[in-house]
Structure 1
Amino acid sequence: MKQQFVQKSIIEIAHWPEDAEFSAAYPEGARPKRTVFSPGDPDELFILSDWRHMFKRSDKKYPEQYWAEIIAYQVAMLLSVNAPPCFAAIDSSRSQCGALSPWFYEEGDESFYSAGNFFHKWVPDFDRDKGTQHNIIDADTFNNRVLGRNQIYEFWSMMLFDSLIGNTDRHQDNWGHLLKAVPLSKSVARRRQEKFDVKWRFAPWFDNGTSLGHELLPAKFTKWDDGALDRYILRGKHHLRYTRDSGERIGHINCFALVEKKSDVKLLLSKKLKGFDIGRLATILDQLVALPAPDGANLTSERAEFILRLTRRRAELLTEKLA
């Protein structure tokens, strides 16, 4: 498991250089975002020096939304799932708060290949915008080809993570693979008539902000009884379908019926859930609530308490499903 970092102060990025090349590729939309470079000697020990970072703000309708991305990273670490670090940051020169996450690969060393690329090639008339044929069966076939049969453990660990945080936006361009060209020895290169071999691995599970009830306002969730909470959880769905022809997306809780006969996968997922420390998450949430942020952009205690309640109940339902 990677080291888990919990920040003690909000990160100031007003002096971080703009990344002109990539910022132009991320125009402002529902969730404004831009890329910046960390300084050569960052104040925080856990921040990579001279490294590209994504700074993503909240939708104006949901000022606390960026916290979902930050908390999802903490959940991933507690679940032993690979997700990019994500921290609360502020650009005081623009009065902006957001989630700050380092680029998860080094340009020139690896390349990112989104799942949407292979779906576009494999599936006739694939809808690249909506991903209506984005499905488990084709994903499994491709992952087996480039990673081998053991990929199923990591892929379904992602499914468990998304089910626990209620992520509805793991679309075909929100996951993929990292590719690295590895030079071959001269003898192998002559035999293959190639100079390089390509090594594949899953990219970290990034872009996790459409989760943890981010779209719910306090006026609604503070009034929910246990029945309302369960109904909300059971309505949650992954972006993925089961097959390319399936119209219905698979549910966050019910999707694990798809690995019912894969006892080794179920055992791994059960162990991950058993090791998930909800008490540790409660402590982390308290620390995040204590971080200073402008009014309206801070993580409120109401929101934190709801996220804890929501995640605890999801963990209970998932544990029952995987039993």
Structure 2
Amino acid sequence: MIDREGIEQAPDQIIDIADWPVYKDYDVFPEGARDKTLRVCPEPPLFRFCLPGHRYLFKEAIKSAKNPGQPRHPDQYWAEVIAFRIGRLMGLTVPPVFVAINSATNEPGTVNEWFMDYPGSEDERYFPGGDYMQRLIPGYDRHKGREHNLTTIIMLSRALMRNNLLAHDWKPYWGLCLCFDALIGNTDRHQENWGLIWSNDGPRARLAPYFDNGTSLGHELQPKKMQRMMRDPNELNAYLHRGEHQMRWAKGDPRRLPLIEGVVRYCEHYPEVRPILIERLSQWHEEALEAMLLNLTRFDMPAPFTQSRAEFVAFLTLTRRERLLQALEN
């Protein structure tokens, strides 16, 4: 991944993808619950933070099953943008995500930068985690993913490292992944939302940047529920307690891995990762988070990011960070 640090989208720089060409023959991208199209940034780009000729995934809000064509959570797309920016506060490698709209349909969403095929990069191939889960677990149901588990992922990572096929240390990678997901409340790190990028020169692999992070940050909560959670500790605690990773610790476990407990359990097995996570959680101040969220309220978009939701996302994220740090430092 090339250096994409320091990129910033201002409120008056909303991307309109109506005239962006669809990539080859892929009109609708098949993975996930949200409608997506794979687009190509035109040359020259309207804004400097976009890469001409590069692929971007335009993602809309999840559509309602009861009201076809209508979004179930019309402002969910903001969670993807915020997760990217929180990931950057933590110093993580997260593909850029920008606020966008399709003016032809007035559909708001995000454009998510494809994390391969950058200018001047070597020839690489991407394989989603589901490919490996199917190979390692006989009869693995890729549609339901109920046997998705961290123990098998660790076994795969160890084997790659042992055979000198992995270009970086997998222990911090998965520790940071669990920590990031726990911080933003991401419950969607299933087998299609991680993968390996293989270089044809070697061959060697690297684990993909943390992508598809939008099922997070309380996006599903209505305003009245948000306000109650900010006033009532019992309601907040119940919500936080329900949060689980989209994987079990081991294949036969009856329950998925709780968000914060999963991070602590991982660090009990790999204690050298604990100080890395503490440092990444501590290196940014709450003012940086609040300023970032306030800036997003200035974007003039359908289903805007409201002041009340900005306050709630800050409250929720800072509460999760405090509890993560308490759990890791004790």
Same fold (TM > 0.5) = yes
Distance 1:104 1:277 in 2: 28
Q: Does 1:94 align with 2:97?
A: no
Q: 1:159 to 1:20 in 2, by over 3 A?
A: same
1:69 partner amino acid: E
Distance 1:19 1:164 in 2: 34
2:215 partner amino acid: T
2:265 partner amino acid: A
Report 1:282-301 matches (<5 A): 282-294=290-302, 297-301=303-307
Secondary structure of 2:144's partner? coil
Distance 1:233 1:6 in 2: 31
Q: Does 1:321 align with 2:324?
A: no
- Name which of 200, 212, 220 aligns with 1:215: 220
Distance 1:2 1:272 in 2: 19
Deviation of the 1:24 alpha carbon: 4.2
Q: Does 1:305 align with 2:324?
A: no
Match of 1:5 in 2: 7
In structure 1, list runs of 5 or more residues that go unmatched: 183-196
Match of 2:235 in 1: 228
Deviation of the 1:83 alpha carbon: 1.2
Structure 1 contact 53–100 (Cα < 8 Å) conserved: yes
Match of 1:142 in 2: 156
Distance 2:135 2:56 in 1: 30
Report 1:151-170 matches (<5 A): 151-170=170-189
Structure 1 contact 81–158 (Cα < 8 Å) conserved: no
Match of 1:251 in 2: 258
Secondary structure of 1:246's partner? coil
Distance 1:264 1:173 in 2: 28
Distance 1:4 1:285 in 2: 17
Secondary structure of 2:297's partner? helix
Secondary structure of 2:87's partner? helix
The ranges of structure 1 where at least 4 consecutive aligned residues each deviate by more than 4 angstroms after the TM superposition are none
Deviation of the 1:263 alpha carbon: 2.5
Match of 2:141 in 1: 127
Report 1:21-40 matches (<5 A): 21-26=25-30, 30-40=33-43
Q: 1:250 to 1:53 in 2, by over 3 A?
A: same
Deviation of the 1:245 alpha carbon: 1.0
Structure 2-normalised TM-score? 0.88
Distance 2:222 2:95 in 1: 27
Distance 1:208 1:92 in 2: 25
Secondary structure of 1:222's partner? helix
1:42 partner amino acid: P
Match of 1:186 in 2: none
Specify the structure having the higher radius of gyration (Cα).
Answer: 1
Distance 1:263 1:207 in 2: 28
Distance 2:269 2:246 in 1: 23
Structure 2 contact 189–247 (Cα < 8 Å) conserved: yes
Which range moves more in the overlay, 77-86 or 273-282? 273-282
Structure 2 contact 175–266 (Cα < 8 Å) conserved: no
Structure 1-normalised TM-score? 0.90
The aligned length equals: 306
Deviation of the 1:26 alpha carbon: 3.1
Distance 1:228 1:4 in 2: 38
Match of 1:271 in 2: 279
Match of 1:67 in 2: 78
Q: 1:30 to 1:320 in 2, by over 3 A?
A: same
Structure 2 contact 87–180 (Cα < 8 Å) conserved: yes
Q: Does 1:198 align with 2:200?
A: no
2:280 partner amino acid: K
1:219 partner amino acid: K
Deviation of the 1:226 alpha carbon: 2.7
RMSD in angstroms over aligned alpha carbons? 1.8
2:223 partner amino acid: P
Q: Does 1:43 align with 2:46?
A: yes
Offset from partner CA, 1:62-100 (integer Å, 9 cap, x none): 111000001000011011111110010011122111011
Structure 1 contact 58–65 (Cα < 8 Å) conserved: yes
Offset from partner CA, 1:185-240 (integer Å, 9 cap, x none): xxxxxxxxxxxx21100111111110001111112111222332222112100011
2:238 partner amino acid: R
1:51 partner amino acid: H
1:49 partner amino acid: P
